Amino acid sequence: MTVLVTGGAGYIGSHMVWALKDAGEAVVVVDNLVTGFDWALPGDVSLVRGDIGDMALIGRVLKEYSVDAVIHFAGSVVVPESVADPLKYYRNNTCASRNLIEACTAAGVDKFIFSSTAAVYGDPKTVPVGENAPLAPLSPYGTSKLMTELMLRDTAAAHPFRYTALRYFNVAGADPEGRTGQSTAGATHLIKVAGEAALGKRDSLSVFGTDYDTPDGTGVRDYIHVSDLVAAHKLALDRLKDGGESLTMNCGYGRGFSVLEVVDTVRRVSGKDFKVDMEGRRPGDSPKVVADPSLIRSELGWKPNHDDLEEIVTHALAWEDKLSKRNRAE
Ligand SMILES: NC(=O)c1ccc[n+]([C@@H]2O[C@H](COP(=O)([O-])OP(=O)(O)OC[C@H]3O[C@@H](n4cnc5c(N)ncnc54)[C@H](O)[C@@H]3O)[C@@H](O)[C@H]2O)c1
Ligand SMILES: O=c1ccn([C@@H]2O[C@H](COP(=O)(O)OP(=O)(O)O[C@H]3O[C@H](CO)[C@H](O)[C@H](O)[C@H]3O)[C@@H](O)[C@H]2O)c(=O)[nH]1
């Protein structure tokens, strides 16, 4: 029995594939390589290059590889881009996921794990935010993911189909063994951008918004190490295999750091100073988003091993350095 990882050549998906291989699971990846890289995958993993919205292709893959569970990472991920180009997000996140889910029900694949996001909460009234908080995304990205959560809920009510939706908070860092990391070209994520600035790949970093109602006026996020996130998926997969019912859970640590705290940490860990420009707020951004992780801890017995901003930044910088050497060698 094989696990299909969609978006497995991307940042988080490639970490998942390495972790599944480490656990001895058979894996097949479907990725169109729009933002992913085939070299991020272990050499012996099958990569089917194609679109998750292509039902005929997905149907063939589910059958040919005897897939019994899907972990669905493929999608478009940049909040401000979704504000500028909402229909891209409804096409590539909502419509493509719809087709993928239908292909699963048609093939009788009944276990599904979905990459949702803290962006479904928008600007939560209470922080840390629990799963029962009002869902009010501030961006088409968040709405496109919430719509997929709703499709999963309705599909599970109508078909023999069980899912786990994990609402990730801000994923960062890289594989501690240095096998993969975030390689996204033109990345917009704070820790990635700060790492690039520290290594001289960018001239400066912009801080988007300095007048939020937060201790230093900059946005606060719950940064979670990608390896802890991937471990939560493995626990969720095992739970579904044991017959667990559908669940939606936050995946974060329960504490937040401001943009300026992240910048300070990157400067300290790298030993490199870089220029920081104070700018206006970025469209679609929440002031403060921090997880209440009680549910995932109790349901999955999830215990993070890397809840340390310095460690997250250390691994992100180590990968950034490796990526520079790789790009120079090409
Ligand atoms: N990075 C974060 O902080 C974060 C937070 C919350 C949720 N997520 C979610 O996690 C998932 C993975 O994000 P990531 O940061 O690894 O992004 P990424 O861009 O590195 O990975 C996405 C992968 O999906 C592939 N892809 C995109 N559209 C596709 C399609 N239609 N068909 C086939 N392949 C396609 C890309 O080529 C890429 O390899 C996304 O669904 C994202 O919304 C990420
Ligand atoms: O160059 C930058 C980049 C970011 N920020 C700030 O840093 C914080 C984090 O921004 P990111 O772009 O790193 O992440 P987001 O919180 O916007 O979104 C990320 O986390 C979300 C979940 O919280 C989503 O799921 C989404 O996929 C993922 O991009 C925000 O306050 C943002 O304004 C800056 O000041 N400068």
Nearest to 187 by CA among 329, 41, 10: 10
Does 121 share its domain with 140? yes
Q: What is the CA radius of gyration of the chain?
A: 19
Tell me the pLDDT band of 286, cut-offs 50, 70 and 90.
confident
Does 128 share its domain with 155? yes
Does 286 share its domain with 163? no
Q: Please report the pLDDT score of residue 140 as a whole number.
A: 96
Does 113 share its domain with 235? yes
Last residue of a domain, one of 251, 268, 300: 251
Query: What is the pTM assigned to this prediction?
Result: 0.98
149-176 mean pLDDT: 98
Does 301 share its domain with 289? yes
One-letter amino acid for residue 101 of the chain: I
In the annotation, is 65 catalytic? no
Q: Could you give the CA distance from residue 87 to residue 144 in angstroms, rounded to a whole number?
A: 9
Nearest to 72 by CA among 236, 211, 201, 263: 236
Instruction: Give the model confidence (pLDDT) of 208-236 as tens digits.
Output: 999 999 999 999 999 999 999 999 999 99
Q: Is the pLDDT reported for residue 326 higher than 90?
A: no
Residues flanking ligand 1, CB < 6 Å = 7, 9-13, 30-36, 51-53, 73-75, 77, 92, 96, 115, 117, 168, 170-171, 184
Tell me the pLDDT band of 161, cut-offs 50, 70 and 90.
very high
Q: Could you give the CA distance from residue 197 to residue 175 in angstroms, rounded to a whole number?
A: 21
- Smallest CA separation from ligand 1 atom 32, residue: 51
Q: How many folded domains does the chain comprise?
A: 2
- Residue 3 Cα to ligand 2 midpoint, Å, equals 30
- Smallest CA separation from ligand 2 atom 35, residue: 207
Tell me the pLDDT band of 329, cut-offs 50, 70 and 90.
confident
CA dihedral 236, 144, 89, 317 (to 10 degrees): -40
Average pLDDT, the chain: 97
* Structural domain harbouring 301: 190-221+254-329
In a domain, 182, yes or no: no
CATH classification of the domain holding 22: 3.40.50.720
Q: Please report the pLDDT score of residue 175 as a whole number.
A: 98
Tokens of 285: 């951004």
Tell me the pLDDT band of 34, cut-offs 50, 70 and 90.
very high
Nearest to 113 by CA among 141, 167, 72: 72
In a domain, 185, yes or no: no
Tell me the pLDDT band of 285, cut-offs 50, 70 and 90.
confident
Q: Is the pLDDT reported for residue 328 higher than 90?
A: no
Q: Is the complex ipTM higher than 0.85? A: yes
Does 83 share its domain with 212? no
Catalytic position from the list 141, 163, 212, 223: 141
Q: Is the pLDDT reported for residue 199 higher than 90?
A: yes
Does 80 share its domain with 41? yes
Q: Please report the pLDDT score of residue 284 as a whole number.
A: 76
Instruction: Give the model confidence (pLDDT) of 46-67 as tens digits.
Output: 999 999 999 999 999 999 999 9
Q: Please report the pLDDT score of residue 10 as a whole number.
A: 98
Does 104 share its domain with 86? yes
Q: Please report the pLDDT score of residue 219 as a whole number.
A: 97
214 lines ligand 2 (CB under 6 A): no
Q: Could you give the CA distance from residue 77 to residue 182 in angstroms, rounded to a whole number?
A: 13
Cα distances from 167 to residues 110, 144, 241, in angstroms, run 20, 13, 20
167 lines ligand 2 (CB under 6 A): no
* Ligand 1 pocket, mutate which of 55, 92, 100, 115 (most atoms under 8 A from CB): 115
Q: Could you give the CA distance from residue 29 to residue 8 in angstroms, rounded to a whole number?
A: 5
Centre a 10 Å sphere on the Cβ of residue 254 and count the other Cβ atoms it contains.
18
Q: Is the pLDDT reported for residue 265 higher than 80?
A: yes
